[in-house]
Amino acid sequence: MELHSGQSVRLWTDLWHPLGRLIEVVGEIGTQKLGIARTALVCDVRNEGHWRFRRFRDRHMKDLIQAIENNRLEEDQLGQEVVLWRRNDTEFGKGFTTSETWQKIRIHSPAVPWSKVVWFPLGVPRFAFITWLAIRDRLSTGDCMRTWGHVQGCLFCGEPNESRDHLFFACPYTYTLWIEVIGTLLGRPPDPDWERTLVHLTTHGFDRLVYILLRLTFQTTIYMIWSERNDRKHLKKPRQVTQLAKLIGETVRNRISSVKYSEKPRLRGLMQLWFSTHT
């Protein structure tokens, strides 16, 4: 809190002093020693720029009082208090931003090599999330459900062991779909092996536009395969490979078409690239 009149800032529990919350500095006993209620406002103790504290010999409390009195405050006694937001370990600002707050509260871990396959500006959040789960092998496939005592085979080809690697793209149905939608974007024949496909997407030096389109197609395909798998599990009418491939193509084109006007040159390049790989 940026202190002015002190009429809306709690002395003990609000964060207005560099020491932190004063109740955490001296404990509950501090309120009794100073004779100041836990709910007291700053304006109850400070008047016309002067603090009113008891005088006593307790060294700890004398140090606290001195720290409070030495802390320079705004002289505008009629102004309203301002809530400040932490930007880093030493700075506060008047504006709140979700990005700075998220960076402050999240657990920081080293970036994984495949992160660029999942997170990129033109990605669709729900597609990226399912792709993230797939990469971490956290989808509720047959392998996972077996640990819960439920047997689940592949709903596309009948393979009794439904795993992440089987769905993407060892299954004949999904591999045929992958071949049809990816075209020549990979720069090599599509591989049914999940790990080799992911390594290729992570390490190969693709052209910028190709890489944008490739990642978008990869994520859309994973999302649509997982959705189709769940639809079949709940007895909905199954789609043929050509139907699902058409749906993936339309979804990718619609996402590319939603690029804002200022990026039209890149948009045209992406559209031309998409059509050139699917003719």
pLDDT tens digits along 37-60? 888 988 888 877 788 887 777 788
**Which one, of 255, 232, 228, 256, lies nearest residue 243 by Cα?**
228
Q: Report d(CA 41, CA 29) in Å as an integer.
A: 18
Q: Report d(CA 14, CA 44) in Å as an integer.
A: 14
The whole-number pLDDT of residue 198 equals: 96
**SS3 call for 217:** helix
Residue 84: band (very low, low, confident or very high) from pLDDT cuts 50, 70, 90: confident
Give 75 or 231, the one with higher predicted confidence: 231
pLDDT in tens, 54-73: 777 778 888 888 888 888 77
Structure tokens at 254: 């619609």
Q: How far apart are the first and last CA of the chain?
A: 62
**Which one, of 212, 202, 279, 225, lies nearest residue 252 by Cα?**
212
Percent of the chain surpassing pLDDT 90: 42
Amino acid at position 217, single letter = T
The whole-number pLDDT of residue 199 equals: 96
Place of tokens 């800032």: 9
pLDDT in tens, 235-276: 889 999 999 999 999 999 889 888 776 666 776 777 777 777
Question: What is the model's pTM?
Answer: 0.69
Residue 277 has pLDDT above 80, yes or no: no
Q: Report d(CA 222, CA 213) in Å as an integer.
A: 14
